[in-house]
Amino acid sequence: MRVVGYVRESPDPSDGRSGFAQQEEIRRYAATHGLSVVAVCQDLRGSADRDGYLSLLGVVAAGGVDAVLLPGIATLSGDQIVQEIMIWDLLGRGIRVVSTAEQDAAFLGADADPGAARMLIRDVLTRVGEHARSIGARRIDPPSILPDGDVLIHILDADAVEANRTV
C-alpha cells in the first residue's frame, strides 16, 4: 500500500515529539508493515496556515496513494470534532486513514467502536454529506425580480407538478 505521511508539531513547545521524531515513527511503521511512503507532509509549530496538510491533499488529489499515515490521530488536531471532520473528508476522497498508535485502531478500524461522541459526530457528518449531495446537485434558479424590485413567487399545484414529472 502506498501512503503519504502527515506530521504536525504541537503548538505546545513542551511537547517533546518533534516533526523529525514523528517522521521517523512513520518510516518505522511503514517498514514494519510493508507500506511504501510516497511523501511526508509537515506543518511546523506555530503555523496556523496548514500548508503541510494542504500539500497532503494535493498528493492525494494527484492519485497514486491509498492511505494517509499519521503518528496518532491527535496529529490532525487536538479537537475531536476537527479530527472527525478531517478523517471524514479523507475517507470521502477515497483515502484510508492509518495511525501508528495502536489505541487509534478503535477509532479508525472498519469494525471499530469509536464511542458515543465520535459516533454522533460521524452521524452528523454523514447527514451533512447526504444533504449536500441531494440538494447541492440540483440547479436552483433564482426567483424572478420585477421592475419595482419585488420578487415574484409562483405557487404550484403539487398534484399538477407530479402529473407532469418525467421519469
Instruction: Determine the average pLDDT of the residues in 28-55.
Output: 90
Query: How confident is the model at residue 27, as a pLDDT?
Result: 96
Q: 30 in a domain, yes or no?
A: yes
Q: 31 in a domain, yes or no?
A: yes
DSSP H or E segment with residue 57: helix 51-62
Q: 12 in a domain, yes or no?
A: yes
pTM of the predicted protein model? 0.72
Where residue 115 falls (left for φ over 0; alpha for ψ -120 to 50; beta otherwise) is: left
Query: How confident is the model at residue 119, as a pLDDT?
Result: 79
Total domains in the chain come to: 1
Q: What separation in angstroms does the CA of 71 have from each of 9, 23, 121?
A: 11, 8, 22
Contacts of 25 (CB under 8 A, 6+ apart): 71, 100
Query: How confident is the model at residue 139, as a pLDDT?
Result: 73
Query: How confident is the model at residue 166, as a pLDDT?
Result: 59
Q: 140 in a domain, yes or no?
A: no
Q: 44 in a domain, yes or no?
A: yes
Band of residue 152 on the pLDDT scale cut at 50, 70, 90: low
Q: 165 in a domain, yes or no?
A: no
Contact (Cβ atoms closer than 8 angstroms) between residue 22 and residue 7:
yes
C-alpha cell of residue 94: 477515497
Domain CATH code at residue 22: 3.40.50.1390
Q: 122 in a domain, yes or no?
A: no
Instruction: Determine the average pLDDT of the residues in 75-97.
Output: 90
Cα 8 to Cα 61: distance, rounded to the nearest angstrom: 20
Q: Which residue has the higher pLDDT, 11 or 161?
A: 161
Q: Which domain holds residue 61?
A: 2-109
Query: How confident is the model at residue 55, as a pLDDT?
Result: 93
Query: How confident is the model at residue 126, as a pLDDT?
Result: 78
Largest CA distance in the chain: 72
Give residue 137's identity as a one-letter amino acid code: A
Q: 166 in a domain, yes or no?
A: no
Q: What is the rounded average pLDDT for all residues in the chain?
A: 83
